[in-house]
Amino acid sequence: MKAVILAGGLGKRISEETKTKPKPMIKIGDMPIIWHIMKMYSSFGINDFIICCGYKSHILKQFFLELLLSEYDHDLINKNLIKIQATISEPWNVTLVDTGLDYMTGGRLKKIQKFLGSETFCFTYGDTLNDVNIKDLIEFHKINKTLATVTSCIPPEKYGILHLKDNKVVAFQEKPENKKDWVNGGFFVLEPQIFSLIENDSTVWEKEPMNKLVDKGELSAFRHYGFYQPMDTLNDKNKLERLWNEKNPPWKNW
């Protein structure tokens, strides 16, 4: 099974880091967050990756060429594609596809359709970590037989909560988890029929396509109660960095 990773956005909310690099190349520890995501997939036997590049794509390409230290074919006619066959550092096949600077998430996904054929595939964002069991997620998708499955997660609360009575604080909760709402945690499993729901390059995957799947009863939710942390801001990045430095980060299963 292949895993598709979105890695082309501008990452404006964490511009302190993305002025010089694409968001998935922001480091957690000594390695970029996209490496952590791929290591997680690889631990479940998924080693075939298609990466949707865009903003500063040359940095992603250079990283994988240097990381994998393998033979590679650079198609000089089609300059938007580099294929890498990993033979040394990681057991990965990586296809890097330039999906443009301004395309939306659905448009980027549509750009790599030809690399997937008629296969079921995984799909996720290049800026989110969690400890979801990918094997269980795929099995859940097969059992439910819908066109799409999304991992639903409980979001971490970003701010401490003050409980007030008159002018006094009567209780304080430091960043409690929101136990009521489920959010799109990324880590999808998709059938190739979903491409028919993507109209053009400006289609946002999380809007029209997902809403159409809901209307058709074709979107299943795999509830994940464990760790979930998107990297939207510098504070999020610093939190992930602290967890990594504690030597037992919850997403590290390799």
Q: How far apart are CA 218 and CA 215, in angstroms?
A: 8
The model carries a pTM of 0.86
2-149+183-245 belongs to which homologous superfamily? Spore Coat Polysaccharide Biosynthesis Protein SpsA; Chain A (3.90.550.10)
pLDDT bracket for residue 76 (50, 70, 90): very low
Tens of pLDDT along 116-141? 999 999 999 999 999 999 999 999 99
Section 67-96 average pLDDT: 64
Q: Where are the domains of the chain?
A: 2-149+183-245
pLDDT in the model for residue 202: 95
Is residue 5 a contact partner of residue 24, using CB atoms and an 8 Å limit? yes
Is residue 71 a contact partner of residue 65, using CB atoms and an 8 Å limit? no
Residues 6 or more apart from 182 whose CB is under 8 A from it?
Answer: 152, 153, 154, 221, 223
Q: How far apart are CA 44 and CA 218, in angstroms?
A: 25
The region of weakest confidence among 84-93, 114-123, 172-181, 228-237 is: 172-181
Residues 6 or more apart from 142 whose CB is under 8 A from it?
Answer: none
Section 206-223 average pLDDT: 94
Percent above pLDDT 70 for the chain: 82
The region of weakest confidence among 29-33, 62-66, 237-241 is: 62-66
Tens of pLDDT along 36-45? 999 999 999 9
> Has residue 69 got a pLDDT over 70?
no
Query: For residues 219 and 163, which has the higher predicted lDDT (pLDDT)?
Result: 219
